[in-house]
Structure 1
């Protein structure tokens, strides 16, 4: 484990311990200031001088959100944030030292938060204007009220720098941030079961990651000895490499969830059916009415709002389309809500969403290859899902699910090699040494599926 990883883990464990104290702070102003001060300290520890990037981006975006036309502030913020993210990752070309890797994580989460905030401000402004003319039901009007809020310059800093999620997420809306300050749910929830349900994953994921990284390090792929191994060994190496990659990501995501759980961020009554990244989705009138301690003590609570990952489902559902719904869920919510649903051309929504996901992850070619090939992988998968999963049952269905699971993990593992190797030269060298067997196989599989689907339709007719 390198020094950066040790600092990263130490800060996350520190944040977990801080939450025990933080959730007990009753004064809202003190809570905002302490949460932001700790978050800024974390950013400074991992970034040093490069904290200026985070400050510059926050200050300029705050000015755009507060003083630009509210009908277009989300567009301006989106454009500036992603342009600055691109500049941030190419500073070496301008004679500015390249920021540390963990500063990149901070800047990535800042981009999601600040753009999401701009969209919320836009929605708040439009809702306020329509409020008097509304003919909606009481429940719908109450939901609209949860969108409305007043925002000051310093509030942007309190939201962006709050220690919950400042380093690696999860993404949560500004509305969720306000609720954690002003709603008393964290005083009455029993967070221990939610905490335990996350903690038991850590030794398993940590052990798997350390063992796999020890026996099959990624650096071995770039050695001459690796190229001299048999084709089957070189091809097989995608599996332990993907295991190392996802165990690392899973471990980090679960730790960030724990930080929020202990700190009381994102807790809501279960009856409101919270959604990851979003918050409550129903019974807004009931949420508004329940304020008495006696009533609040009787409720069941959950932390779905900051829930990022379902490790078992991410690995063992049979299709890529399903698996992506269980991985980095709050970021998936952001992409779906602010990119996919708002992209004007429905035909290209998936491609546009995957492209923005790649841009958000970084400038390396590996990100674009890995994420950019997802729409093409989904083409073959959707076809074979219809052939194998739709009309089968019993043993045939179970076998079909195993086949689809193998195909999914093989494609994920092959794509992940580009994600972890990053550079074009390394990616091409590896794919050349396995003769691009996976994409060739899946292209053949796609045309075979098309033929079998035509045969099925002919029989049905």
Structure 2
């Protein structure tokens, strides 16, 4: 492990330990100050002078949230925070910035622009509610179909201090998970943290974190990524060895990510952050999807979960059969942010491509994700390549998997699972190799077999699909012809009988 990784793990373990202390602070104002102070301390320890980037971008983003009218505030804040990533990464390119500082800046970008999107959405609800009250001639005592809450009003009166506290809260400041401002506010206003099984949940996650870390250290020792950049790898190793090397290197990458994300979740669970009653139906990143404020009256009588802060469903990623399912379970809190603030708000009808109105906004969402991850070619090779494989997978799912049953279905499922991990590993290798030169050298050494085989399978899939559709049309015409012949015969028989 590098010295940066050691410092990173120590900071995470320190944050986990601080959770039991922070949770016991009875004064909510004091708890908020302590949480922010710890967050700033962690940022400075990890980043040193580079932490100035975080403070400067936060100041610019906060100004956009507070000074720009809510109707445009989300767009301006988005442009400011994501625009600052350009300056930040140019600075990194020439002078170098610790890798974990990049993660801090990435999470900060989502938080500040996310609170601007929340504020704008709340403002629109308030405007629609006021307009309805003016124009509606119904009984004034009748309940309005547009629901507004105190939270909607509170968002319109945000202060710079609150945005600062939310952005630098030590919970999630290093690698996330992303959570809404509402989740942050609930932590200080709701009693759920006191009754949630914080210690049990943390110990359970820590066991998995130790397991993932052991896997990472072992596989990184046996199959280091640096070896895939060496002359020996390209000159002395066979084509099969080079091709199969994508499996252990991507497995190492997954184990590393699982370790960091699980430790980050432990920071949340130890402090009771993100704990909600099961009845509130919490979702990853979003929080409760049902009304939950009334549940605080008998908070000790409910069962709790930490679904809100679960960023990757590890077992589901590993066990699911298809690439599409794997994507749904990976980095789900960030996916929630992208879905709500990019995918759903993208003007798809305006930029419709024929009948495929979903294509532009899917592309825009993935492009935003790649941009957020970084500017290196590997990020775009990996993330922008995913939808093409998913389309191929969907096509073959309809051709051979959907209608299969019994032993055939199990065999096909396993085959899809193997292809899923090959696709993840092959595309992920580009993410890890990062630069175009390294990517091209590696892909050329395996004759671009991934892209070539996918292109062949796509062409074959189109051919088989067209053949199946043609067979269905012939069958339909034959059935119609038979039905027509039966009708004529019945008419003749009827005429004879008369």
Q: TM-score range by the shorter chain?
A: over 0.9
SS in 2 for 1:266: coil
Instruction: Find the counterpart in structure 2 of residue 236 from structure 1.
Output: 244
Instruction: Find the aligned partners of 1:163 and 1:131 in 2 and give their Cα distance.
Output: 36
Q: Is residue 2:388 matched to residue 1:376?
A: yes
TM-score (norm: length of structure 2):
0.88
Partner of 2:355: none
CA distance in 2, matches of 1:409, 1:221: 19
Conserved? CA contact 2:126–2:148, under 8 Å: no
Residue 160 of structure 2 corresponds to residue 153 of structure 1:
yes
Task: Give the Cα–Cα distance (whole angstroms) in 2 for the partners of residues 216 and 139 of structure 1.
Answer: 62
Q: 1:220 to 1:349 in 2, by over 3 A?
A: same
Q: Give the deviation of 1:201 after TM superposition.
A: 1.4
SS at match of 1:72: helix
Cα offset, 1:192, TM superposition: 3.6
Equivalent in the alignment of 1:14: 14
Relative to structure 1, the CA distance from residue 343 to residue 157 in structure 2 (aligned partners, 3 Å threshold; closer, same or farther) is same
- Shift in Å, 1:289: 2.5
How do 1:34-433 and structure 2 match up within 5 A? 34-91=34-91, 97-132=95-130, 133=132, 144-149=149-154, 150-227=157-234, 228-282=236-290, 284=291, 287-292=292-297, 295-345=298-348, 346-433=358-445
User: 1:271, 1:195 → 2: CA distance?
Assistant: 22
Q: TM-score, normalised by structure 1?
A: 0.95
Are the aligned partners of 1:170 and 1:330 in contact in 2 as well (CA < 8 Å)? Answer: yes
Alignment of 1:434-453 (within 5 A): 434-453=446-465
Residues 144 and 137 of structure 1: is their aligned pair in 2 closer, same or farther, counting only changes over 3 Å? farther
Aligned partners of 1:339 and 1:211: how far apart in 2? 39
The question of whether the paired residues in 1 share the 8 Å contact of 2:278 and 2:303 is answered with yes
Tell me the SS of whatever aligns to 2:79.
helix
Where structure 2 has 5 or more consecutive residues not aligned to the other structure, the ranges are: 349-357, 474-498
Aligned pairs, number: 454
- The match for 2:493 is none
Cα deviation for residue 264 of structure 1 reads: 1.5
Q: Distance in 1 between matches of 2:295 and 2:232?
A: 66
SS at match of 1:23: helix
Residue deviations 1:221-257 (CA, integer Å, cap 9, x gap): 1111111211110111000011011111111111111
| Whole-angstrom distance in 1 between the partners of 2:11 and 2:361 | 37
Kept in 2, the 8 Å contact 1:253–1:328? The answer is no
Take 1:78 and 1:241, find their aligned partners in 2: how far apart are those partners? 34
Q: 1:28 corresponds to which residue?
A: 28
Contact 2:210 2:259 in 1 (8 A): no
Q: Any conservation in 1 of the 2:192–2:296 contact (CA below 8 Å)?
A: no
Q: Determine the C-alpha separation between the residues in 2 that align with 1:280 and 1:139.
A: 22
Q: Secondary structure at the match of 2:70?
A: coil
Structure 1 pair 354/184, CA: closer, same or farther in 2 (3 Å)?
A: same
Report Cα offsets for 1:284-303 as digits up to 9, x if no partner: 1xx233343xx211111111
CA shift at 1:147, angstroms? 3.8
Instruction: Describe the SS at the equivalent of 1:172.
Output: coil
The alignment status of 1:455 with 2:467, answered yes or no, reads yes
Please identify, of 52-61 and 84-93, the stretch whose mean Cα deviation from structure 2 is larger: 84-93
Report SS of the residue matched to 1:170. Answer: coil
Taking only aligned residues, the RMSD between alpha carbons, in angstroms, comes to 1.8
- Cα deviation 1:42-84 (Å, max 9, x = unaligned): 0001111111110111111111111111110100000111110
CA distance in 1 between partners of 2:143 and 2:197 (Å): 31
Aligned-partner SS, 2:317: helix
Matched-pair contact (CA < 8 Å) for 1:147–1:175: no
